[in-house]
A and B are shown apart, each in its own frame.
Chain A
Amino acid sequence: NAGVMQNPRHLVRRRGQEARLRCSPMKGHSHVYWYRQLPEEGLKFMVYLQKENIIDESGMPKERFSAEFPKEGPSILRIQQVVRGDSAAYFCASSPGGRYSNQPQHFGDGTRLSIL
């Protein structure tokens, strides 16, 4: 999984705190996707971003969750006022993009979020 860098690898927060998860895409990739994996489940799409634009946030919970991919720097997934149900593995993926070509997404190793 070299290339897509996520940090931190593990994050522990108490209920009510904020969690910030960072993702740097592979070099040359301008499309970033966030997925969440709950225990014993597959990965679920959350949000798709390009630089400075949210393309599709249909998988994001309506409250407490936000994402950005600024012109400079990594993409950030932010969870405010965390609750126990937010405990999961959060994966970031990137692709070269391009609307008219099929390109596989490449994943980082994820951030394991634990809520106490």
Chain B
Amino acid sequence: DQQVKQNSPSLSVQEGRISILNCDYTNSMFDYFLWYKKYPAEGPTFLISISSIKDKNEDGRFTVFLNKSAKHLSLHIVPSQPGDSAVYFCAASMGANAGGTSYGKLTFGQGTILTVHP
């Protein structure tokens, strides 16, 4: 049961253009969403997050959009740079509003390999 899905295994973008990475989820109890970037042989690095009470969060070149009705979120990177080339994972959790012990743990998508060409 894949509760968080990234349907595009890979994405190739020209330097300077916009990169759009997509993520869908099925569990309506998720209320906190995160994007991580991962280089080979390293751990995931936190990029940006969004709470379900918002529909947009921006941090520099990174913007995350959340569409709760469609259970869809996306990460926009603009302008894209060659150093952005990495695997991007979206993740979801039942955050502050969840009961029991389910809060906190992250459910990850399978990842999207982003390649930014000079």
**Footprint of B on A, CB under 8 Å?**
1, 4, 6, 31, 33, 35, 41-45, 48, 55-56, 58-59, 91, 93, 95, 97, 99-102, 104-110, 112
Contact = CB atoms under 8 A, between A and B. Distances in A.
Interface of B: 32, 34, 36, 41-46, 49, 51, 89, 91, 93, 95-96, 101-111
A106 B49 CA distance: 12
B89 to A, nearest CB: 6
A116 B43 CA distance: 24
A101 B97 CA distance: 9
A105 B43 contact: no
Nearest to B32: A102
A4 B46 CA distance: 13
A101 B44 CA distance: 21
Contact of B101 (A44, A55, A91, A107): A55
5 contacts: A41-B110, A43-B106, A93-B106, A109-B41, A109-B42
A100 B94 CA distance: 11
Nearest to A44: B108
